[in-house]
Structure 1
């Protein structure tokens, strides 16, 4: 069993569990109590508490582990950032910690695909490029895509976007037809990364909806909203109706042979009132 490479992890809890299993396999008398002492913890069930998210490792624990394991400065910094990522209380803090992780050369060298997946979910214009680049109207010039996308993005971003889409196998080159085609590949990446990146994505496309009020004329967009007073029991039914409409819309779009333009469709359902019982707690 090889010693776990810290740069292949974004979850320090998984890392510590794997480190323990490695040390246990390497040293016959190594125990959970021995492992706890490495973090200068007096609790013999330290690892179980960490694993089950009932305990957060403190900064002194990270440094103690780093010293006991002989981690390098870069490895220790990655450990500290993993803890910051896990303990973040806001989306902004979590996103900042993750960006710090993927910015390091050591992490990038072993997690190239994961970084690309994060970038796909983070940048709103990548799905737009994916739709336009496979259009029969696309002349093969990234500058054409740059001019078509609203709000405009640079030609450099278009080129990088096409390369990323190909790297993720979301598009592929059909040499017989001399054009790009879409694949059905689904992106698979750790759930904590997806959820964080999707928050970035939704925030941006919701903002684009607001900007469209001034960017486009009324006959080329449709913006509507309604405020509903409903019993709590009706939430599930409304959500099901929205999901049914969403599936119907996607099915209809799939029947259209040639994409001449790209539209963004957002659907949101969120509360404007809180639970009085929760407020008193």
Structure 2
């Protein structure tokens, strides 16, 4: 069932769980993510950011929309980390049902202006918008863009930002980074800050950089009020690690031999996240 991001996240907000937003970068990842969401009876956001789109191209969008339409669980297709008004227009025209305007690296007023423009565009056609306030770190060259230093979200600023922009959900900075943490870096979420922000605002909250964080912290973040958690690196590591193992046998050449084990490995990781976020079985709420 294809739907908007807000339709999914409002239910998560009202019922205190987090929906996974799994970043996909090819058709088989997309298929596998929908399959495991159906098996777990969990709502889903399929997330695609500009770097991933440079690989899939927008020619894949009709197939993703058809897959979402046929799914037995609610599915939104989310344009992740858009940066310009032109990208917002393009995303709406391309068939996304949820968009993100990421102005987090800009001064507050510029972030507000860009995000408000995205809201005006998306709301005109019934789609939802995610904004971001505060900065996410970046751990390696393979990760999505992030800041050299995390700037934590200030609760009072979050209130003003929501009032000025009209966003449907807000990505906050409480200590996560994009990518896989190196051995010397210890991730630590400011869960007390999350509580303050949740008490101050009344829209779904989003956590980017959810991969490679301790399960205990991520699980608690979902229980405390985060309603969407983005997972990219963890499922891609599972998918491509298994693919490398399979392709060690140089005699293999057929996709139906090589790719199914990689899809299954990714599904195991995704199933773990769905359970951790409290999303398993929640499709029955829709």
Q: TM-score range by the shorter chain?
A: under 0.3
TM-score by length of 2: 0.23
Q: Which one scores higher on RCO, CA 8 angstroms, separation ≥ 6?
A: 2
Bigger strand share: 2
Larger gyration radius, structure 1 or structure 2: 1
TM-score (norm 1): 0.23
